[in-house]
Structure 1
């Protein structure tokens, strides 16, 4: 018993030191980044069927290159269809590069990866585990979802590749998410980010290759991409919250905002901002639903409205500020996105497109239930235990 206790203490100390010093070293290496203001054309997707139809069609029509980065590609029917499309294009002589997160796409068999490489698809996993900070490096995940085709069209958002994103998971049901397709100036920035990540993981430097950056016309929608690498996302979220004057809407599948973002929300409420937060009722990971409850109680006491999506699983990542700014991307309002994951978000500044997005937000709210105080406070002994554990492990959820 004593030996086991000492072993647990040593493990806890190792994890603490590994995380602390691993993160400090990481922060010394990185700086805040953002791309210039651009003007592009955008299309919004909220269901996987429509997204996959257009994405797969664009892939089939590619002439020169296909660059794909996903957090998750599953080992299922639609994933195999997607991967076969990449193989088919590689056989046709199109350059295909596929970058997947090692943890998120762990279900992908080695045989499938070998088949991709055999048929000409350049493949790499993100974020190899690195000594001496093994635990920190294992927790760093590339959560970005980026696709660029011929340098002329791009995709970014919350969807990954798998049957569950089509609503085929019987436990989660309908999958509600937000994803963007763009053409125009902004595609070059998605290309730059992909090639930056590709270089990090393969040492192949293609950032100066002009063929990947064909000149594109401007579009009607003003926007800016903001990539984050386990830091500086908090500043973006706080700036958005502080800019709100009348109304603030946040949609996120995992709501564990931490003290600084939470304080910004409470200050916004004191200024008279109407705050609405939408989260899923169902959870696709253990403890995330319970870990949000302490934040929900504080916000509800302050007068904020918090809704739970009832019609399936809500996975969209969106912040809407009044009628002037909308943030859609890959980052959740949780500590993993704020402090560990590598993310990319798109700030949109076009009122007409924002009106289109608000129609979808209204549908989401219409399919949700407003939480009551009883919902977040009258908990069973087991649920209180889950909340305690979830709060303790919030950094890793």
Structure 2
């Protein structure tokens, strides 16, 4: 009996410590961070939805670089495509190109120390972002840098959902075909992407390169209107809320993790009430435990209200996209979940060009055709174990 009481007491202390660590850690984090809202700019945009095409284009741009390569990814794996990527960076650094590589400490746990030593030996400037540390170990373990930014010679930029790994090429037999959105940007907006990378580099390495004019270039404006926005875990909810409230006819949301905040979920229900057609596209397969279970805490209510939810059938759907009527398209790194809303560092691109929005919507609807539409009657047949997993997933949903 005494042993049980001791275990219960230890659990209470542990939970209390986690809660205090998380609360104080977030407060300390927000006091130091400043989110960047960039002005609207014209750009040239190219949309990639296939990893093979994206990596071919990105690797070619890296190989042609003559001055600087600045790259930031959440995940870099330990596999063939990752090795090709790292070896290409080593090659360019050996040629005298300035190469900086920033990757999240937890997201890229699989990178070997030997690989990092090789990068540095070839002249690549490498740094981990968001290293977990005391006194707020639990909070810093969960607050991740989820951005994916590449800037080549200050002239070409990339942003979106792809990381570096075999699964992003559709080569993981468990996940299958990988569906994602990634943007290639040209024009003045690349300077904004460059600035965000250099801000992240400064935060991690304390090396301030923001005033180095050689990293910023004058470029043709482009034809599509866009706006970048980086978030630090406290205004993404507000941004998504504004998008939902702007919708008059149709709202398309594609996300691998549908775990909205209460405000966002209520806004979706209100949108349906005022006649907006709401389509949510999520994956049928899950790449993390409990994220699919957490989504089912919201899906039945959304269906009852008149919304539509689809599960991508042929592989894993990882795109982060919100399309509002024919007016705004959001593509970036931020998921429609509590982690992106309240924990992660993210960067999103808001696009206001109708021709691009038409293309994005066609791509979205093509994925709907490859998906299964969820029916309320089917959800009511879920087993007791499914409801238990859903309850647990809801409890821990802020950390999923």
TM-score by length of 2: 0.98
Q: Pick which of 321-330 and 15-24 moved more.
A: 15-24
Match of 1:391 in 2: 394
Q: Following superposition of structure 1 onto structure 2, how do residues 134-173 of structure 1 map, counting pairs within 5 Å?
A: 134-173=137-176
The answer for the alignment partner of 1:23 in structure 2 is 26
Correspondence for 1:53: 56
**Aligned-partner Cα distance in 1 for 2:122–2:230:** 32
Which string of whole-angstrom CA distances, capped at 9 and with x for unpartnered residues, describes residues 279-299 of structure 1? Answer: 000000010001011211111
- Corresponding position of 1:268: 271
How far the C-alpha of 1:130 sits from its partner, in A, is: 3.1
Show CA shifts across 1:181-203 (max 9, x none).
Answer: 01111100000000000000000
Verify: 1:302 aligned to 2:305, yes or no: yes
Q: Higher mean Cα deviation, 19-28 or 200-209?
A: 19-28
Could you tell me how far apart the structure 1 residues matched to 2:211 and 2:267 are?
A: 40
Q: Does residue 185 of the first structure (1) align with residue 188 of the second (2)?
A: yes
Aligned equivalents of 2:33, 2:103: Cα separation in 1: 21
Paired position in structure 2 for 1:313: 316
The corresponding residue for 1:367 is 370
Corresponding residue of 1:207: 210
Aligned to 1:96: 99
Match of 2:340 in 1: 337
Cα deviation, residue 369, structure 1: 1.0
Cα deviation for residue 127 of structure 1 reads 1.0
Deviates more, 1:83-92 or 1:257-266: 257-266
Residue in 1 that maps onto 2:197: 194
Rounded Cα–Cα distance in structure 2 between residues aligned with 1:218 and 1:18: 46
**1:385 deviation in Å?**
1.4
Q: Report the equivalent of 1:232.
A: 235
Structure 1 range deviating more: 377-386 or 70-79: 377-386
RMSD: 0.9
1:81 equivalenced with 2:84 (yes/no): yes
Partner of 2:280: 277
Q: In the aligned structure 2, how far is the partner of 1:377 from the partner of 1:318? A: 29
Q: How many pairs are equivalent?
A: 397
Paired residue secondary structure (1:237)? helix
**Which whole-Å CA distance do the structure 2 matches of 1:217 and 1:249 have between them?**
31
CA deviation after TM superposition for structure 1 residue 376, in Å: 2.6
Alignment partners' CA distance in 1, 2:91 and 2:146:
26
Question: Matches of 2:34 and 2:92 in 1, distance apart?
Answer: 37
Query: Partner of 2:297: helix, strand, or coil?
Result: helix
C-alpha distance in structure 2 between counterparts of 1:297 and 1:312, whole Å? 23
Matched, 1:286 2:270: no
Are residues 33 and 376 of structure 1, via their aligned partners in 2, closer, same or farther at CA, if it must alter by over 3 Å? Answer: farther
Equivalent in the alignment of 1:349:
352
Secondary structure at the residue paired with 1:326?
Answer: strand
User: SS of the residue aligned with 1:294?
Assistant: coil
What displacement does 1:30 show? 3.2
- Give CA deviations for 1:303-341 in whole Å, capped at 9, x if unaligned: 000000001000000000000100000000000000000
1:4 Cα deviation (Å)?
1.5
Give the Cα–Cα distance (whole angstroms) in 2 for the partners of residues 175 and 302 of structure 1.
30
**Residue in structure 1 matched with residue 385 of structure 2 by the alignment:** 382
For 1:160 and 1:14, how far apart are their aligned partners in 2? 33
Task: Give 1:31 deviation, angstroms.
Answer: 4.2
Following TM superposition, the consecutive aligned residue runs of length 4 or more in structure 1 with deviations greater than 4 angstroms are none
Aligned partners of 1:261, 1:390: CA distance in 2, in Å?
18
1:257 aligns with 2:260: yes
For 1:51 and 1:260, the matched residues in 2 are separated by: 35
User: Within 2, Cα distance between the matches of 1:377 and 1:236?
Assistant: 33
**Corresponding residue of 1:122:** 125
Other structure's SS at 2:31 match? helix
Give the whole-Å Cα distance in 2 for the aligned partners of 1:371 and 1:289.
13
Q: Deviations over 1:171-226 (max 9, x none)?
A: 00000000000111110000000000000000000000000001111000000001
